[in-house]
Amino acid sequence: MEEKKYEITYIIRPDIDDAAKTAVVDRFDKILTDNGAKIIDSKDWSKRRFAYEIGGFNEGVYHIVNLTTTEEEALNEFDRLAKINDNILRHMIIIRED
């Protein structure tokens, strides 16, 4: 199976402290690498105000991960766990065509 590039963007709730935010990022980076993905970069983008409220919040911290993988399992596991993590308000996984 060929290696594909992906970009994952997720929004972290704005009211957690830096240590907790770092723990969320480290945990989700590890979920990806433990399931066969290679992370190119993983960085905070910015804190942004939402057009509408999400889960009682009007803003959140956007985090972007660029990665390559041949394993759908890495993405499936990230998706599954992000849906049930209270600190992640939304997430989106896209295939990069560059």
Tell me the β-bridge partners of 36. Answer: none
Between CA 96 and CA 41 the distance in angstroms is 14
φ, ψ (nearest 5 deg) of residue 30: -65, -40
pLDDT of residue 62: 97
Complete domains list, the chain, with CATH: 18-63+71-92 (3.30.70.60)
| Interval 22-65: pLDDT, tens | 999 999 999 999 999 999 999 999 999 999 999 999 999 999 99
pLDDT of residue 1: 72
Cα–Cα separations (whole angstroms), residue 61 to 72, 90, 97: 26, 11, 25
pLDDT of residue 21: 96
Alpha carbon 86 to chain centroid, angstroms: 13
What is the bridge-based pairing of β-strands 57-69 and 88-96? unpaired
pLDDT of residue 71: 80
The full length of the chain comes to 98
